[in-house]
Amino acid sequence: MAVIGVVGAGVMGVGVAQNLATGGHEVVLVDRDEAVLAEARAAIARNCRMSRLLGGPAVDTDAVLAAISTAVGVRALAKAEVVIENVTEDWEVKRAVHAELDEVCPPETVLIANTSAIPITRLASVGGHPERVIGVHFMNPVPAKPVVELIPGFHTDERTVARTRELLTSMGKRWVDVKDASGFVSNRVLMLTVNEAAFLLHEGVVDTPEAVDEVFRGCFGHPMGPLETADLIGVDTILYSVEVLHEAYADSKYRPCPLLKQMTDAGLHGRKTGRGFYTYTN
């Protein structure tokens, strides 16, 4: 049983920790605040209880929680064999976390960046061991999504790739090998779609988010429309990802919609805050 560190107890970190625990791993989930960690454990318990109701497998909630310990700060990960970083899609935040991890974790520790847009080679440049840094783009909700993007950086070595594939297999994941380019495959396409959908609402082409989403559900057979997807991922995360793409490619097609900026500033981040393009209740 490997000890796996998970950095960031937000939506993605919670999902990754739960998935690892059900895969038989001992997990150390860290964040900067005890209250955030307490809410993360409560969220994991809720998710486990809801798994069967949502069409997933029955999950032993007590066993999952017993496999997950929590701690404040990344120094608790000094003995982790693998660390998966899941902090917000903000370069300065990720840079600071990776600098801390490089200081705390021994050279043999594999560092996995769960990112949807930031290049892995850039993240690896922060520390002194770029060969042990690799990207895995997990999809939300993590336990329910069977496929990830696997992104080696320029210096990532074969040991790191092999260990990461082994870990993903234990989590029940299949992977698509993707070259290291900002946004990879999924977000080069998805973020453009969501951003343009937000422009449709912002410009008054449609009056409601339901109008956009119904076209995608009813005409194309998508289970969720782009604005529903934005609320699931997090409107703030969508904005940060689009901004990364805009900076990386200097292409006006990635210009962020002002509505995404306004909603992010207003705290309308989607399901995780109770309101985004739609309003949610418990």
Please, what is the Cα angle at 202 between 197 and 208, to 5 degrees? 70
Q: Could you give the strand order of the β-sheet that contains 3-7, starting from the edge strand earlier in sequence? A: 68-72, 26-31, 3-7, 82-85, 110-113, 133-137, 147-152, 174-177
- Cα–Cα distances (Å) from 107 to 96, 111, 168, 227, 234, in that order, read 18, 10, 21, 42, 33
Inter-residue contact 83 to 101 (CB < 8 Å): yes
> What torsion, rounded to 10 degrees, do the Cα atoms 214, 215, 218, 222 define?
-90
Q: What is the DSSP string of 133-166?
A: EEEEEPPSSGGG--EEEEEE-SS--HHHHHHHHH
Inter-residue contact 111 to 83 (CB < 8 Å): yes
CA distance 25 to 3: 6
DSSP state of 168: H
Annotated active-site residue 202? The verdict is: no
- Cα–Cα distances (Å) from 282 to 130, 237, 275, in that order, read 42, 22, 11
Can you tell me which residue has the tokens 């990207």? 135
25, 98, 137, 269: the active-site residue: 137
Please, what is the Cα angle at 208 between 202 and 209, to 5 degrees? 80
CA distance 102 to 122: 14
The catalytic residue positions are: 137
